[in-house]
Chains A and B, each alone.
Chain A
Amino acid sequence: MAKYKMHILICGGTGCKSSNSLQIIENFKNILAEKGLSNDVQVIKTGCFGFCERGPIVKIMPDNTFYTQVKPEDAERIVNEHIIKGRKVPDLLYTNPENKEHVSDSKHMDFYRKQIRIALRNCGFVDPENIEESISRGGYEGLAKCLTEMTPEQVIAEMKASGLRGRGGAGFPTGLKWELCAKNKADQKYVICNADEGDPGAFMDRSILEGDPNSIVEAMAICGYAIGASKGLVYIRAEYPLAIERLKIAITQAREYGLLGDDILGTGFNFDIELRYGAGAFVCGEETALIHSMEGQRGEPTLKPPFPAVSGYMGKPSNVNNVETFANVPIIITKGAAWFSSIGTEKSKGTKVFALAGQINNVGLIEVPMGITLREIIYEIGGGIKNGRQFKAVQTGGPSGGCLTAKHLDTAIDYDSLVAAGSMMGSGGMVVMDETSCMPAIAKFYLEFTCEESCGKCSPCRIGNKRLCEILEKITDGRGTMEDLTELRNLAAVIKDTALCGLGQTSPNPVLSTLDNFWDEYVEHVVDKKCRAGVCKKLMSYVIDREKCIGCGKCAKGCPVEAISRTDYTAPGHKLASMVIDSTKCIKCGACINNCKFGAISIH
């Protein structure tokens, strides 16, 4: 192996790749080769660093300099200045928005200061396509320890003692789940990794698979050893080609190194992993639906019991955990349950990864200890609301969760406190909204999603959610009544009580939590026919102020439906007659407002 003096780490995650990070990698490689530095400086394409808002990210090691929003043409400057002369390139460093100072070490950025990275420990540090880098950071140590020093019972006891709970949403204790599966005797058992991340706005599982696939391979093997399974299956979204590719590479390399396959590490333990592809169905996050999909059926859930631990894939005992849950496993084994359970709250141990997104300054992937407050996440890590607007709500738990408001900002968040506040942890989507978001419209947005994704097997979910959605449409169209609001609540309660699976039982949460927290806004839509956020098109009209209009006609030229014409009124001081919008033709697209340089058009 070559001995490199410096390493250039470049994010190859989805967000940075979309901003041309692969071209940056190419440029670095070419420039280093030109200067004869290829043997001294290594260029590594890593997984997600998390700070997606400032991507593409380039990190220089060993001095840990963190360059943000790097463009392909910046590669030359970084090589000339930083690599050759040892001088940092100030304008590419992160600028602290408060004191305008440059920060070069990511440890000192507000975005990273409060984070504890356990599941994401290797993301952004290793080349995910090289197992040796993973091993050099402690990868597969946990598996070796299990196989050589621990019995399966001890592994399960360690997992139970750690207090790790399922990160996919419901928060079932992982150790207990393993134990239930271990107890069932069978000729074949399965370890299943749920990588069918379906929550719109959550991308942590994808980032872990893209940034550190070896930790998932290792964890599945540990689980196989603990429950007595020799086969692992990863159910992964076909829409994640990069994650699939990297997982395949990790599996192949692990086999070459004797870390998968027969007689792992000479201990006689056999375990191997295959991939199964999802085809885009949100309900397949539910474990029984997922198993049916892997068997080549429609992904419809079935009643539990029997639980998959008794009768799962092909009728055999199966243990299903999600990606983030698995990512915690190896480090719990190496560092011990006591270390892990020292982080977090009484009933929720460890950390949680959130995809922080929406109207917030620092969008990205964050990992924080359980028990942190929303205020810390939104204002310290997230850097506050975009464009200096007011915080309105934060949605957690995706289509199964709810909206929390300013009064929840100081709640210490864990599985139980979020449920108590009317939301849930879910897979970790966290979408921040400001006053430009309309809450009945948000509820409708989620219900439309649920209607589309409902598998149709049980009528509360199939029909009930459709009716909820129709009522919400009435309200956002300005046809709603106060009775509709009562009906929303009643119907939501029935669906919650009677739906077959987790999807249906939680689908009314976005409606109920917005009704609870934003009742006034619903009443405004219904009684005053007003949408204060200016989102509901049917409740607003575009109006031209005839005194301000100079009659340039630019609005009319840009109008896609020819709804704007000239009047015969010329305002004092102007040469041309003013324009007017025909509200019966207007489709409220907003093109005219964007075209008007004189601020003459407003929304009412």
Chain B
Amino acid sequence: MANIKLSEDKVNIIKEIAKSFGNRAGEVINVLHQVQGKFGYLPAEVQEVVAHELNIPVSRVYGIVSFYSFFTMEPKGEHPIDVCLGTACYVRGAEKVLDAFARELNVQIGKCTPDGKFSLNTLRCVGACGLAPVAMIGEKVYGRLTPDMVPGILAEYK
């Protein structure tokens, strides 16, 4: 725990969450859910504190974070963009929509723009297949997308 750079407040938040689950190793996934809910992502130093609090090796925490796609070690943008790549969206041209977002923002998939405004990710099935292809920006769902709609949508957030 020597070179952890987290502020004391943040360490305390993690400690409290771990405590609410009785510091039990078996609750590690639930703890990580809540910690990610607070911080938005799970950088290495956060994982170290979680491991310490639950008294398990950091490797086990990292093993879980890297295994499940819901957990992320990358920070999300102010407006996280998730393009659905479920099959229904894929056959209705979701890849072209994804390309358009990447091109328009000049950002790689899975990354955040340098100003921290947008992050671009993919997900599998929002459950709104009737509107395919769809993308989510924050909580808002955009349906029946075509690549040429992308600049207009992004303009809403700039």
Chain A residues with CB under 8 Å of chain B are 13-15, 17-19, 52-55, 198-203, 206-207, 238-240, 276-281, 293, 295-299, 355, 357-359, 363-364, 395, 398, 429, 431-433, 437, 442, 445, 449, 452, 455, 560, 589-591, 594
| Complex contacts, B64 vs chain A, CB 8 Å | 279, 296-298
B90 contacts the other chain (CB 8 A): yes
The stretch of B11-19, B80-88, B111-119 in contact with A is: B80-88
Closest 5 CB pairs of A and B: A52-B130, A357-B88, A279-B68, A18-B141, A200-B86
| Complex contacts, A55 vs chain B, CB 8 Å | 130
Q: How far is the CA of A295 from the CA of B123 in the complex (A)?
A: 25
A445→B128 contact, CB < 8 A: no
| Complex contacts, A201 vs chain B, CB 8 Å | 86-88, 125, 129
Bin the interface of chain B by size: 35 or more
| Complex contacts, B71 vs chain A, CB 8 Å | 279-280
B79 contacts the other chain (CB 8 A): no
B70 contacts the other chain (CB 8 A): yes
B52 contacts the other chain (CB 8 A): no
B96→A14 contact, CB < 8 A: no
B74 contacts the other chain (CB 8 A): no
A590→B96 contact, CB < 8 A: yes
Smallest beta-carbon distance A594→chain B, Å: 6
Q: Nearest residue in A to B148 (C-beta to C-beta)?
A: A594
A279 contact from B29, B86, B92, B129, Cβ within 8 A: B29
A19 contact from B67, B91, B92, B131, Cβ within 8 A: B131
B132 contacts the other chain (CB 8 A): yes
| Complex contacts, A297 vs chain B, CB 8 Å | 64
A364→B87 contact, CB < 8 A: no
Q: A18-B126, A19-B143, A589-B103 are in contact. Are A429 and B87 (CB under 8 A)?
A: yes
A280→B70 contact, CB < 8 A: yes
B127→A203 contact, CB < 8 A: yes
**6 intermolecular pairs with C-beta atoms under 8 Å apart:** A18-B141, A199-B125, A200-B125, A357-B129, A429-B87, A432-B91
A357→B148 contact, CB < 8 A: no
| Complex contacts, A591 vs chain B, CB 8 Å | 147-148
B107 contacts the other chain (CB 8 A): no
B26→A296 contact, CB < 8 A: yes
B132 contact from A198, A276, A281, A363, Cβ within 8 A: A363
Chain B residues with CB under 8 Å of chain A are 25-30, 32-33, 63-64, 67-71, 85-88, 90-92, 96, 99-100, 103, 123-132, 134, 141, 143, 147-148
B129→A589 contact, CB < 8 A: no
Q: A279-B70, A281-B68, A359-B91 are in contact. Are A296 and B131 (CB under 8 A)?
A: no
Q: A279-B69, A355-B129 are in contact. Are A445 and B90 (CB under 8 A)?
A: yes
A296→B29 contact, CB < 8 A: yes
Q: How far is the CA of A591 from the CA of B146 in the complex (A)?
A: 11
Q: How far is the CA of A490 from the CA of B86 in the complex (A)?
A: 28
| Complex contacts, A358 vs chain B, CB 8 Å | 87-88, 91-92, 132
| Complex contacts, A207 vs chain B, CB 8 Å | 127
| Complex contacts, B69 vs chain A, CB 8 Å | 279-281, 452
| Complex contacts, A299 vs chain B, CB 8 Å | 67-68
| Complex contacts, B25 vs chain A, CB 8 Å | 296
A296 contact from B28, B99, B123, Cβ within 8 A: B28
Q: A201-B88, A238-B33, A429-B87 are in contact. Are A15 and B68 (CB under 8 A)?
A: no
| Complex contacts, B28 vs chain A, CB 8 Å | 296
Q: How far is the CA of A200 from the CA of B28 in the complex (A)?
A: 27
A198→B29 contact, CB < 8 A: no
A18→B92 contact, CB < 8 A: no
| Complex contacts, A200 vs chain B, CB 8 Å | 85-88, 90, 124-125
A239 contact from B26, B70, B92, B132, Cβ within 8 A: B70
Smallest beta-carbon distance B18→chain A, Å: 13
Smallest beta-carbon distance B153→chain A, Å: 14
| Complex contacts, B30 vs chain A, CB 8 Å | 276-277, 296
- Excluding A239-B70, A359-B91, A590-B147, 19 further A-B contacts by CB distance (< 8 Å) are A13-B127, A15-B129, A15-B130, A18-B141, A53-B130, A199-B125, A277-B29, A279-B70, A280-B68, A281-B69, A296-B26, A357-B87, A358-B87, A358-B92, A363-B132, A431-B88, A432-B91, A589-B147, A591-B148
Smallest beta-carbon distance A547→chain B, Å: 26
Q: How far is the CA of A47 from the CA of B74 in the complex (A)?
A: 34
Q: A55-B130, A279-B70 are in contact. Are A293 and B96 (CB under 8 A)?
A: no
Q: How far is the CA of A202 from the CA of B126 in the complex (A)?
A: 10
| Complex contacts, B88 vs chain A, CB 8 Å | 200-201, 355, 357-358, 363, 431
A589→B96 contact, CB < 8 A: yes
Q: How far is the CA of A357 from the CA of B126 in the complex (A)?
A: 13
Q: How far is the CA of A157 from the CA of B1 in the complex (A)?
A: 58
Q: How far is the CA of A299 from the CA of B69 in the complex (A)?
A: 12
Q: How far is the CA of A358 from the CA of B91 in the complex (A)?
A: 6
B67→A455 contact, CB < 8 A: yes
Q: How far is the CA of A14 from the CA of B129 in the complex (A)?
A: 10
| Complex contacts, A238 vs chain B, CB 8 Å | 33, 70
| Complex contacts, A445 vs chain B, CB 8 Å | 87, 90
Q: How far is the CA of A50 from the CA of B88 in the complex (A)?
A: 16
| Complex contacts, A17 vs chain B, CB 8 Å | 141
Q: How far is the CA of A201 from the CA of B88 in the complex (A)?
A: 6
Smallest beta-carbon distance A361→chain B, Å: 11
Q: How far is the CA of A279 from the CA of B66 in the complex (A)?
A: 11
| Complex contacts, A395 vs chain B, CB 8 Å | 87
B143→A18 contact, CB < 8 A: yes
| Complex contacts, B130 vs chain A, CB 8 Å | 15, 52-55, 357, 363-364
Q: How far is the CA of A52 from the CA of B128 in the complex (A)?
A: 8
